[in-house]
Amino acid sequence: MRQQAMKMQQALQGKQIAVEKGDVKVIISGDQKILEFSVQGYSSQDAIDALNDAIKQSQKMAAEKLKEIAAEMQ
């Protein structure tokens, strides 16, 4: 199962989603990493890093909660 998850993650890394709303543009990879973020044509690597950190923390929190739920079901 772990090997399947790794294959899926690798497949998702190669995908990109681009969203533009007004003056805001975001490009994110399928594995949820911000590749580009700009507002009115201006980009900041600090903003991209902060967004990626927030997403990573959210994913970690969700994974921990899923582990708790799985443990309760056993």
Position 59 scores a pLDDT of 93
Position 6 scores a pLDDT of 80
Position 44 scores a pLDDT of 95
Averaged in consecutive runs of 10 residues, what is the pLDDT profile of the chain (74 residues)? 79 90 96 95 96 96 91 86
At the topology level, CATH places domain 2-73 in Ybab; Chain: A; (3.30.1310)
Going by the DSSP 8-state scheme, the letter that residue 41 receives in this structure is T
Position 5 scores a pLDDT of 76
Domain boundaries, the chain: 2-73
Q: How many CB atoms lie within 10 A of CB 37?
A: 20
CA distance 50 to 9: 22
